[in-house]
Amino acid sequence: TAICQWTLAMEKYYHVARGVEPKRKALKEASAELEVTMAELKVQKAKLQEVEDRIADLESKYSAAVDKKDELARQVIDCEQKLERANKLISGLGGEKIRWGESVQELTIAFDAVVGDVLVAAGGIAYLGPFTAFYRSELTQEWRAKLAALSLPHSSNCSIVNTLANPVKIREWNMAGLPSDAVSVENGIIVDKARRWPLMIDPQGQANKWIKNTEKETGLDVVKLSDKDLLRTLENAVQFGKPVLLENIEEDLDPALEPILLKQTFKQGGSLMIKLGDSVVPYHPDFRFRITTKLRNPHYRPEVCVKVTLLNFTITQEGLEDQLLVEVISNERLDLQQKSDELVVSLAGYNKQLKDIEDTMLKMLAESTGNILDDEELINVLANSKVTSVAVNK
């Protein structure tokens, strides 16, 4: 049985081996062809990789070229902008050089003479108020002579007006009713700068009118010593920072006003307070107190004079002439008066604008870093300064 099974198996193997052998030969040939094909494929892949690497390199170079082109385009635009700003800067500086040079010379002279000038101005504020134009001029000349004798540097024409005058503010005062003569202008400066509240001798009512016009928009309270609610009005004004005009006083002042006149303030709970009568009220820093009298030649006791800044607003011959001229022009040539007022307003606005621009420019120059041509805002401010200064000069 075993021999029979072996014989059958051998026969079966013969037939299977006979069918498989050609297939083995075919497999061997196919494997050989595959090896040749794979070798060729490897070569072609290497060539393809080389081409792809060249393409990637070219793309990288192209991208770098495009970036460089864009950067050059940006640099062209930046150079054009800088060139335009440089032209503006050169044009602006060229126009402002003369004015700035003159300003530097004036400021240098003023700086050297500031000690004597301020001394004369301070003396004027402290002592000249009660006097007429003649005595004021005489005293100022004596002070200048004394400064010269002591070799203190000062300007040859130093005075309250030349040292402390703000042209823009003076024009505003004139438009509000302050006469334009020298004494009235000095009085206006003293009212503005003095530490003590002003008591104005005002028989013609010009100071009264000026104060009312100046403080019209700030809610001025006008009171008299005879008013029953005087203290209540003062308390409200002190607390909320409103201006007060006490008018038509005689030669005596109510003792209740002494805390205000002497500015007897004190700190309480971190706030500034003042006691008026039996009440303690907060003291607002914007509070202003003005006093006028219609008496022509009052005699105030020394204890009153030391509490206030006494000012003589009695109208002068020069002041009358200026006011008469204004009235004549207003009646005869109203068009000229209107044009004059317009010019005054316009010039005051230009001067204020010019000062603001210069302050802004100095601040920007101090804070500027790097290339000044990169600061377009600064260049524009300089251009505006030139335009404004040309308009002011015109």
* CB-count exposure of residue 276 (10 Å: 0-12, 13-18, 19+): buried
Q: Which two tokens stand for residue 82?
A: 């800088």
Q: Which residue has the tokens 């130093």?
A: 158
Confidence at residue 96, expressed as pLDDT on a 0 to 100 scale = 66
Strands 265-268 and 271-276, how do they pair?
Answer: antiparallel
- CA dihedral sign, ordered 43, 47, 49, 50: positive
Could you state, in chain order, the average pLDDT of each consecutive group of 10 residues for the chain (394 residues)? 88 85 86 89 91 92 92 88 76 68 83 92 94 91 94 90 85 84 91 95 93 90 92 93 94 91 91 90 94 93 92 83 79 84 77 77 74 72 72 74
Beta bridge mates, 198: 309
* Spatial CA neighbour of 127 closest among 263, 315, 305, 316: 305
- Name the 3-class secondary structure at 156: coil
Half-sphere exposure of 305 (CA within 13 A, CB side): 12
Look at residue 95 in the predicted model and tell me its pLDDT.
63
Structure tokens at 127: 């002592």
In 3D space, the residue among 182, 156, 157, 146 whose CA is nearest the CA of residue 321 turns out to be: 182
At residue 56, the pLDDT reads 92
Secondary structure class of 18 (helix, strand, coil): helix
Q: What's residue 321's pLDDT? A: 82
Residues constituting the chain = 394
Sequence-distant contacts of 136-144: CB under 8 A, at least 24 apart: 136/183, 136/186, 143/119, 144/120
Task: Give dist(CA 27, CA 383) in Å, integer.
Answer: 92
- State how far the Cα of 261 lies from the Cα of 249, in Å rounded to an integer: 14
List 265's β-bridge partners, or say none: 274
- DSSP string of 189-241? HHHHH-SSPEEEE-TTSHHHHHHHHHTGGGT-EEE-TT-TTHHHHHHHHHHHT
**What's the predicted TM-score (pTM) here?**
0.66
